């Protein structure tokens, strides 16, 4: 088990290193990294100082070394727009995004799984058909569209929910539902098909033959086995909850990193953009390691390999 944890952490480290290469390369892709990484209002002297500090006139591997050293020591450069270290600006906003993502993840998981199980246990019946339609719509309607329609209905027409900002429980509802929408539909479909597969296995049949109540057969014997593909999908969706915040936060003026990213891009604050992408990605990679360890807990067969 310890070896498994170690190997997963090792893989995560490689992945994060890979992401750092991508982020590093991004600034250089546009041709002149200096144009992105040096504040537009800098004097020629300041400009040269920053170029020297970042090694922009030296070979790419050296530049990467300097970049990596900065990352490891927590120095991501200064945000042009805020005049503070980019990491601090990020750290102030990140919790807001996490809170929203967490609420959305819970909504998606609970909603998707319960809807999916309901569909599987009533396969072919009315609930199943309704669920299939909802799931299909979920995957075809982009989250920003849902956000706009929710706003149209609940804020503009009914006046029940506030349109923007983060102040109190009510303001969570629309952003969280919009953000959860797509994942919920995907999880519902996956849960349904995974449960249907498991319900046909011999061990579920044996559980019935043992005379167990149907609820016990479904939740103890079938569901736990159906959980692995569901969790796999969910762990892939975790990225989406943070990524998708880019759009949702901008619609609902949610003060998280999604809004911050777009602000940073439009004000050409590239050090901040780099920081957001790298730190957020690393966070998600580590989160996935956590999910993998959870698998090992759910399915004993994984512990051995």
Q: Which of residues 264-303 bind another protein (CB under 8 A)?
A: 264-266, 268, 270, 273-274, 276-277, 280-281, 284-285, 288, 298-301
List the one residue from 4, 8, 11, 173 that touches another protein (CB under 8 A). Answer: 11
Ranges within 222-261 binding another protein (CB under 8 A): 224-225, 229, 236, 239-240, 242-244, 246-247, 250-251, 261
Size of the site for another protein (CB under 8 A): 82
152 touches another protein (CB under 8 A):
yes
Residues 70-99 that bind another protein (CB under 8 A): none
Interaction of residue 105 with another protein, rule CB under 8 A = no
**Whose Cβ is closer to another protein: residue 26's or residue 68's?**
26
Sign of CA dihedral 253, 258, 259, 262: negative
Q: How far is the CB of 30 from another protein (least distance, A)?
A: 5
Q: Is 129 in the site for another protein (CB under 8 A)?
A: no
Closest CA to 287 of 229, 226, 237, 228: 237
Q: Which of 10, 30, 62, 219 binds another protein (CB under 8 A)?
A: 30
201 binds another protein (CB under 8 A): yes
> Is residue 54 within the footprint of another protein (CB under 8 A)?
no
Q: Cβ closer to another protein: 55 or 142?
A: 142
């Amino acid at each position: 088990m310890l070896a498994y944890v170690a190997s997963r952490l090792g893989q995560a480290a490689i992945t994060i290193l890979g992401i750092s290469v991508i982020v590093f390369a991004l600034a250089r892709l546009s041709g002149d990294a200096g144009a992105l990484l040096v504040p537009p209002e800098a004097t020629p002297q300041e400009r040269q100082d920053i170029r020297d500090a970042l090694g922009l006139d030296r070979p790419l591997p050296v530049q990467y070394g300097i970049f990596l050293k900065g990352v490891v020591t927590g120095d991501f450069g200064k945000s042009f727009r805020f005049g503070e270290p980019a990491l601090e600006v990020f750290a102030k906003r990140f919790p807001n995004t996490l809170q929203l993502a967490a609420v959305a993840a819970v909504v998606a998981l609970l909603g998707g799984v319960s809807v999916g199980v309901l569909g599987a246990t009533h396969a072919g019946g009315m609930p199943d058909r309704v669920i299939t339609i909802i799931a299909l719509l979920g995957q075809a309607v982009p989250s920003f569209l849902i956000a706009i329609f929710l706003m149209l209905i609940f804020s503009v027409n009914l006046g029940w929910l506030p349109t923007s900002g983060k102040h109190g429980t009510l303001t969570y509802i629309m952003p969280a539902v919009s953000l959860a929408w797509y994942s919920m539909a995907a999880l519902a479909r996956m849960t349904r098909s995974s449960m249907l597969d498991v319900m046909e296995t011999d061990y579920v049949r044996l559980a019935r033959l043992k005379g167990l109540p149907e609820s016990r057969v479904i939740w103890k014997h079938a569901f736990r086995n159906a959980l692995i593909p569901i969790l796999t999908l969910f762990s892939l969706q975790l990225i989406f909850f943070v990524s998708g915040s880019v759009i949702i936060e901008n619609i609902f003026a949610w003060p998280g990193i999604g809004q911050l990213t777009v602000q940073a891009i439009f004000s050409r604050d590239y050090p901040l953009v780099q920081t957001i992408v790298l730190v957020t990605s690393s966070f998600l990679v580590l989160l996935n390691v956590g999910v993998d360890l959870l698998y090992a807990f759910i399915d004993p067969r994984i512990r051995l390999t």
